[in-house]
Structure formats: structure tokens, C-alpha cells
Amino acid sequence: MQSKEMFDLKVYLSEKKAIVDKALQSCFPKPGGPASDLIRAMEYSLFAGGKRLRPILCIAGTRAVGGTEEDVLPVACALEMIHTYSLIHDDLPVMDDDDLRRGKATNHKVFGEAVAVLAGDGLLTEAFRLMTSHKLTQRISPRVILKVIGLIAHASGYQGMVGGQVVDIISERKKVDFPTLDYIHTHKTGAMISASVTSGAMLGGGTPSEVEAITSFGKNIGLAFQISDDILDIEGDTNTMGKEAGSDEQKGKATYPAVVGVKKSGEIQSELVDAAISSLQFFDQSAEPLRRIAQYIIERKK
Amino acid sequence: MQSKEMFDLKVYLSEKKAIVDKALQSCFPKPGGPASDLIRAMEYSLFAGGKRLRPILCIAGTRAVGGTEEDVLPVACALEMIHTYSLIHDDLPVMDDDDLRRGKATNHKVFGEAVAVLAGDGLLTEAFRLMTSHKLTQRISPRVILKVIGLIAHASGYQGMVGGQVVDIISERKKVDFPTLDYIHTHKTGAMISASVTSGAMLGGGTPSEVEAITSFGKNIGLAFQISDDILDIEGDTNTMGKEAGSDEQKGKATYPAVVGVKKSGEIQSELVDAAISSLQFFDQSAEPLRRIAQYIIERKK
């Protein structure tokens, strides 16, 4: 572990991303046989330039409580598969209708809508299969794994991400009040970001109070991350982001800047990041990656 | 348990269906709050007149090895949720484009395509959450539950149902050889039917050889069931089936009758049912429901 003075977030993120990418690459067989198109479509989006934020949060969460990244890699990969499936379905013409994601053509643009729907379904299902695999069960107690699967299913399902996505879609081009906006953001993005870091802490054997502190951290940065997405959509550059800037406003999306203004959104975001870092006050240097990731959320450009 | 002479399949199916329906009814909160539309959409398809074949197979599978239905109900409900999600996504305009399912308007016809995609996603995810719930973990060993989740995820994912569905879609209006047809049927329908009965046997504490025999039973009836679906699509009555007869041919679907003819399809189906029943030769009366369900597959009209 690098010391506080030495800790270089850029190096940390790039190292962990490489580890996650390698683990993801071993998740699927070489395309072959009748369902090759499906495997190609799943892998296309899985390797379309994601930052691996959720897997890295899972790894950083486990490190904070003294766990090791080898113990959480299958769950880290599962989190990225769930995130990727949600992007594929979000981009569909019947949903957000996006042609571009991270600077590349979206899944349905390359493979057609039917295969894109099924590639999403396949990634979501494989995420759950992966969390029952021998790689994980040989290292972690089955009871803890079941709790983690339950946590992630809750965070990604109708009471979490999918719920937030429905409200996001039905709120388009409507005047949205603050509680609805808050519901969309905490559910659509916040729940899975929070579950990512919490699952890491649970798998690493964190005590109940450690897991609680890390969950509080996750909830705060989850919302802060979505607000920064909203702000970037206004202030960001299409080339840097790899998707069209200003598309939220075009679609009449309920965003923090649209409801409370850009300035106030920035203030709320800063408060959330401060609260997130405060949650970690009883952690030592082992939580430094989490603290630095929280700060990075405000500074990021894409 | 009814004795062999007394066993009335119709009564059995109707009793078990009522138990499954009641368990499913307690799965979701009353619609309320921002995501009400999503809950309504999920429940609409979940209660649109399904036969509950997969849950009943799970219950019958556990009974065959001496287990009790209370022990498997959460998994039985999860199987029905996964089946229902697959129907919602299959019916989408970009997939099979069906307006009618079990005599009712399909999900996207009622709730729109975006909500239908998300209702499917929500049901699939909730199925996995349900299998980690206290209702199940208080009764069954976590290690067995993890195996069952892995089995069901494998059967419903890219190496199972979703894989079969992709090949089904990309094979439309193409000349399909027998191996491809077999791949579609064993994956699209067979895998989940087989997993339903096997998961019941695993949860009921079946020995490895019992589980193996029941898996063999499941594979045979899974394929037989899909062939009977294909035959019904030709010979069935639109009113009785609740969906349009002849739609497979219209869509240029790869079906057994289309590839090997109706007569040969019926012969293969009978052989499969015989093989399924033979798999159960070392089971006593406790496997009678499974034997009778196998025969029913040939006789059913919808």
C-alpha cells in the first residue's frame, strides 16, 4: 500500500482497472457455436472503454476493512456486468435512444435491437452466476456471499436502479419536484455505487460498524457522482466525454442543474463528498483510496 | 400424498398453482411511490394467466426426493419471475412482436416498450434477490442455495435460455439444420424446465444420483414441452391457446414440425416422454406427480 504522501490516484485507478479488465477478459469463452453473436455483443459493450468505477470501489471497499482484491474480483466483475447491461438497455431507441457511448457506437447500433436486449439480459444473468462460482465460494463464506448477492440484486432491481430508471423515463419533459429528482438519482446511480463499496466491505470481513460507515460513504458519493454527471452534461466537452454534451436538456431529463441550478448543484455535490469522507473518520490509511476517489468525483472531466 | 390410483393430475396442478399464486402475490409491495408503474407492469405479466409449470415442477421435484414445498417456494416464485421476464422481452416489437399472450394484451401494449423492457429487467433481478431472502436461508443450507442460484443463472443466461433466444431470432426465415434447431429448443425452453425440476431436487436434499436422474427427466420433458408448443402452434386453436395459432410459420420460426414434419415431431416427443419416465424408475410413488406431468405434456391443448 502506498503511503498517504505517495498515494497517486491516477496510478491506483489505472492499476486496478488493468486487474479488473484482465479478470473480465477471462469471463466468457471465445465466441464459437450458435450463440457467438450474443457473446460478441456482450463483450463489445463490456470492453467499450468503461472506467471500472464500480469494481474499483468494491476493491477499495474491501481494502479499507483489510480484505484482499483477489477475494472480491468475481463480485467486482459482476458489478461491471450489471452496469454494462444497464447502459445497453438505457441506450435502446425505446429508452434514451443514444447512438454513442464512450465514443463508440452503442450496442444496438452494431448488433441490432433484438440482440442488444438479449446481450443486456445475458450480462445481468451472468453477473449472478459469476457470484456463485467456485472462484468466490472457495474463498468466502456462503452466508456472506448470499448477503452480497441479495444486496446487489436489491440495489440493481425494482427497488434500486431499475426503479430509478423507470422514474427517469416517465419524468422526461415533465416538471419534476425535488423528491422525485432525488428518487431518480439515489436509485438510478446511487444504489449500485453504494452497493459496490458495501459489498467489498462485506466480503472483506468488515465489522457491522465498518460496513455501516462504508455504506454511508457509498450513498454520499453515489449521489455526488450522478450530480457530477449532470453537471458534466452541461459543462463538459463532447470529445472528452465520448457522448454528446447537452443531451440531458435536449431530452428534458430531470437533472440537478435543471431543478436547482448549476451553482447549487455544485454546492450539494461538495457537501456530499465532505460527508462521504467524514464517514471514514475512524478508518486509517487503508481507506485512502476511497477518500481520494470521493475527491476525484468533483474533479473529473468525463 | 394421493396414492397412484387416486392421483388426479388436474387437482394436483390446480392445488399447486393456487399455492404458487398466493406466494407470488406476497412478493411485491402494493404499488405506491414514484416507481408504481414498474410494479404494476411486473405484476400485470406475472398474473396474466400463467400455468406455473416451472414452479410446479420445482415443487414436484422436491417431493420426489422427500422435500417439502414450503422449502422451495421462494425458488419456485423466482423461476416464474424469470419465465415471465423472458416472455415480456420475447414479445417486444424488436423481438417476436406479439400483441397477445395468454389471451391478454402483451406488456408493452399496455405499459409501453420502455417500461416493458424495465419490467422484464426488474423481474429477472428480483428473482435472484428472492433466492437470497430470509424465507429461504432460514430453511436451506447457504451452500445448497448458492448451487441452485448458479444452476438457474446458468440455465437462464447466455449458455441457456438467452442463448437459445438469440439463435431463435437470428434463425428466423433461414433454412435451419437439425443441430441448430436442437440448440434453440434445448436452450430456449429445455434448460429452464430442466433447472426447475433439478433445483427442487437439490433443495429437497436429493442424493447426487437422485439429482442426476431428475435432471435427465427434466432435459427430456424440457425438449418434449417445446416440441408440443411447436405442434400446438400448428394444430391448436387460437381461442384455447390465448395466442395466435400459426404464428411460428408466419414468422419463419425454426420449429420441429418445420424441420422434421408434424408426424416425426410427435414420435420424437413420445420417445422423450418415455425416456423421461424411465429416468424415474428408481423412484417410488413420491415421483408420481413428475410422471403424470410428463404424460400431460403430450395431451395438453394449450
Mean pLDDT of A263-274: 94
B38/A126 Cβ within 8 A = no
| B85: closest chain A residue by CA | A121
Q: What is the pLDDT of residues B252-263, one digit of tens each?
A: 888 899 888 999
DSSP of B8-39: -HHHHHHHHHHHHHHHHHTSSPPS-STTHHHH
In this prediction, residue B243 has a pLDDT band, given cuts at 50, 70 and 90, of low
User: What ipTM was estimated for this complex?
Assistant: 0.95
User: How far B13 CA lies from chain A's nearest CA (Å)?
Assistant: 29
User: How far A263 CA lies from chain B's nearest CA (Å)?
Assistant: 27
User: How far A266 CA lies from chain B's nearest CA (Å)?
Assistant: 25
Q: For residue B175, report the phi and psi dihedrals to the nearest 5 degrees.
A: -75, 120
Domain count across chain B: 1
Work out the mean pLDDT of chain B and round it to a whole number.
Answer: 93
Q: What is the pLDDT of residues A45-96, one digit of tens each?
A: 999 999 999 999 999 999 999 999 999 999 999 999 999 999 999 999 999 9
In a domain, A251, yes or no: yes
- How far apart are the C-alpha atoms of B21 and B7, rounded to whole Å? 22
**Extended strands (E) in chain B:** 100-101, 104-105
In a domain, B65, yes or no: yes
Q: What's the pLDDT at B301? A: 63
Q: What is the pLDDT of residues B146-167, one digit of tens each?
A: 999 999 999 999 999 999 999 9
- The whole model's pTM is what? 0.95
In a domain, B31, yes or no: yes
In a domain, A3, yes or no: no
Chain B residues in contact with A92 (beta carbon < 8 A): 117
Residue pair B70/B77 in contact by the 8 Å Cβ criterion: no
Which residues form the domain of A96?
Answer: 9-299
Task: Give yes or no for residue B172 having a pLDDT over 80.
Answer: yes
Structure-block grid coordinates of residue A294: 470521493
- What's the CATH number where B136 sits? 1.10.600.10
In a domain, B4, yes or no: no
Task: Give yes or no for residue A1 having a pLDDT over 60.
Answer: no
In a domain, B2, yes or no: no
Question: Nearest CB to B94: which of A117, A131, A170?
Answer: A117
Pairing type for strands B104-105 and B100-101 reads antiparallel
Percent of chain A surpassing pLDDT 70: 95
Q: Which of B81, B106, B129 to mutate to test the interface with A (most CBs of A within 10 A)?
A: B129
In a domain, B106, yes or no: yes
In a domain, A2, yes or no: no
User: How far A71 CA lies from chain B's nearest CA (Å)?
Assistant: 17
Chain A residues in contact with B85 (beta carbon < 8 A): 121
| A187: closest chain B residue by CA | B35
